[in-house]
Structure formats: structure tokens, C-alpha cells
């Protein structure tokens, strides 16, 4: 990957951290992926400059992000442990802000996530946050989901019935079903994600499998997200609809773009 792409990731991550991780932030969600590495790099710099809350707690979304937090010397806690921390205040009620990467982001800041197979924990943490912020390089910025990301919707499923779930997803998404208007392809394909440098399928941090469901462009992300979750054995869907408040994109020319949902921009006009 070019150094310009890596620099654009770094720029977006640093800008988002500088805006949102203020000394008043006590609980911070840390996402997963290559761009989040730069966010943690910036957190370490701010920590060394005494610009973070001294009692900051970071909530990881994957094995990777927990390692990043630990290596940076930051304090980590699992999501469910927040309620027993800070007993004088009755425990933390929510996460102040979560910063996470994305595989693709549309004009309404709906996102595809799960390229790293961490989307279950990522969505749990995002849902428990007061603000959810996405960071990425400009290649991930699109008008419609599926316009640039061609690896399918990541769907975490139970290993007990992955073949059955795969067939049900394909049948549910076929042109004969009422869902055909929700996405581009008339004959979607669900593929079991295979591991790299390991024989067999990818196994998530939660012990599950991942199906990548190829549907082409997604015209109604909230409806597709809910449609997939109706199938028993589907644990989580890598479509994050209506969750992000902001998305920061780094460009290869060194500039940074910050976007809010298109519908919110219209309200400001």
C-alpha cells in the first residue's frame, strides 16, 4: 500500500482524535483496523503530553484493539465492566465517544464494516456510545454502499448452521423475493470467508464464522441490515446504519474532509 494512503489514514485519525478526545472524555471506544492504529498512536502522544484524562478508560472492540491499547500503556476495560467501574458515581452509564474505521461509508454515513471480522463487538461498542465517529482514507468515501467495496456484506454466523444460513441468505435476497429492490444484484452469493495462512475458515474473536454476502450496491442499508438479522443463526451484520455522527477522510494530497450525514446537512441549510 502506498505511503500516501497510509499518510491519509494517519491524517484522518489524528484529526478525529484531536477533536473528540478531550480531557473531559473518561470512556473511549477503540475500534479495529489499519486506520485505528494511527488513532492509538495519537492517543499515546497526547498521553505523553498529559492531555488525556488521567483516568481514561478505553473499551476495545477486538483482540487487535486490546493489544493496541495495552501496548500504548492505556487502561482498558470490557464493555460490561463499565457498570462496576467508578463506584462513587454508580458506574459509567455509556461510552463518551467511539472512534472506528470503516470499509466504506455512504452519503448518510451508513457504513460497511467487518472486513477484519470484528463487526459484532464494534457494533456493541458503537451502540453503547454517545457519539460514534468513523475514520478512513478517501478510497472508502462513496455515495452508495457497494459502489467501491466489492467484497460483500460481512455477516457473522453460528458455525452450527453456516451452510443453511448461507442458502437462506441467497434465497431471501433473490429476485423472486420481495427484497430484490434493496440492492443491485438479482442473484446474490454468500461465501464462507477463508483464513489466510491457516487452513479453513476465518474464526472471529467470538468463535463464529463470517459469510461475505455479495449484493452489489445497497440502496436501503437499514432495511438490508434488518432483513439479514431476521434469519436465525445470523449473529451480526456488517451494515452500520444510522449510527455514525461524523466521518473523517484523509486525502492523498494531505487534506482532510469531515462529513456529517447528508440529511443533517440539509437541516442546516
CA angle 225, 230, 235 (to 5 degrees): 75
Nearest C-alpha neighbor of 140 from the set 131, 150, 129, 132 = 150
Distance from C-alpha of 65 to C-alpha of 57, rounded to nearest angstrom: 13
Q: What is the pLDDT of residues 225-237, one digit of tens each?
A: 999 999 999 999 9
Looking at residue 266, its pLDDT comes to 64
* pLDDT higher than threshold 60 for residue 184: yes
Q: Residue 2: helix, strand or coil by DSSP?
A: coil
* 200 backbone φψ class: left, alpha, beta (φ>0; ψ -120 to 50): left
Which strands form 111-112's sheet, in the order they lie side by side? 104-105, 111-112, 239-240
* pLDDT higher than threshold 60 for residue 1: no
Neighbours of 55 (CB within 10 A): 10
Which member of 104, 108, 122, 236 is catalytic? 122
Looking at residue 268, its pLDDT comes to 61
Distance from C-alpha of 71 to C-alpha of 69, rounded to nearest angstrom: 6
Neighbours of 235 (CB within 10 A): 17
Looking at residue 179, its pLDDT comes to 72
Residue 189's alpha-carbon distances to 68, 185, 216, in angstroms, are 35, 9, 10
Q: What distance, in Å, lies between the first and last C-alpha atoms of the chain? A: 39
Nearest C-alpha neighbor of 261 from the set 169, 133, 151, 93 = 133
Q: What is the mean pLDDT of residues 58-75?
A: 97
Q: What is the pLDDT of residues 194-205, one digit of tens each?
A: 999 999 999 999
Q: Do 28 and 150 contact (CB within 8 A), yes or no?
A: no
Q: Residue 10: helix, strand or coil by DSSP?
A: helix
Distance from C-alpha of 216 to C-alpha of 52, rounded to nearest angstrom: 42
User: Is 122 assigned a catalytic role?
Assistant: yes
Amino acid at each position: 500500500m502506498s505511503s500516501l494512503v497510509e499518510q491519509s489514514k494517519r491524517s484522518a485519525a489524528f484529526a478525529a482524535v484531536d477533536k473528540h478526545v478531550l480531557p473531559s472524555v473518561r470512556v473511549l471506544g477503540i475500534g479495529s483496523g489499519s486506520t485505528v492504529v494511527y488513532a492509538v498512536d495519537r492517543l499515546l502522544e497526547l498521553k505523553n503530553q498529559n492531555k488525556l484524562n488521567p483516568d481514561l478508560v478505553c473499551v476495545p472492540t477486538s483482540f487487535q484493539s486490546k493489544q493496541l491499547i495495552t501496548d500504548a500503556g492505556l487502561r482498558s476495560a470490557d464493555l460490561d465492566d463499565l457498570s462496576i467501574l467508578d463506584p462513587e458515581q454508580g458506574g459509567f452509564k455509556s461510552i463518551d465517544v467511539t472512534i472506528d474505521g470503516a470499509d466504506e461509508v455512504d452519503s448518510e454515513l451508513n457504513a460497511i464494516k467487518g472486513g477484519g471480522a470484528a463487526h459484532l463487538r464494534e457494533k456493541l461498542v458503537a451502540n453503547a456510545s454517545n457519539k460514534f465517529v468513523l475514520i478512513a482514507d478517501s478510497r472508502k468515501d462513496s455515495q452508495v454502499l457497494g459502489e467501491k467495496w466489492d467484497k460483500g456484506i460481512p455477516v457473522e454466523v453460528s458455525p452450527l448452521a453456516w451452510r443453511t444460513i448461507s442458502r437462506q441468505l441467497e434465497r431471501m435476497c433473490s429476485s423472486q423475493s420481495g427484497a430484490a429492490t434493496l440492492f443491485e444484484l438479482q442473484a446474490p452469493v454468500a461465501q464462507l470467508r477463508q483464513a489466510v495462512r491457516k487452513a479453513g475458515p476465518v474464526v472471529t474473536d467470538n468463535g463464529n464464522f463470517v459469510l461475505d454476502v455479495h449484493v452489489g450496491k445497497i440502496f436501503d442499508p437499514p432495511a438490508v441490515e434488518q432483513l439479514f438479522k431476521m434469519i436465525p443463526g445470523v449473529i451480526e451484520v456488517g451494515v452500520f446504519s444510522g449510527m455514525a455522527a461524523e466521518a473523517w477522510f484523509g486525502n492523498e494530497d494531505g487534506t482532510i474532509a469531515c462529513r456529517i450525514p447528508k440529511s443533517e446537512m440539509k437541516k442546516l441549510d
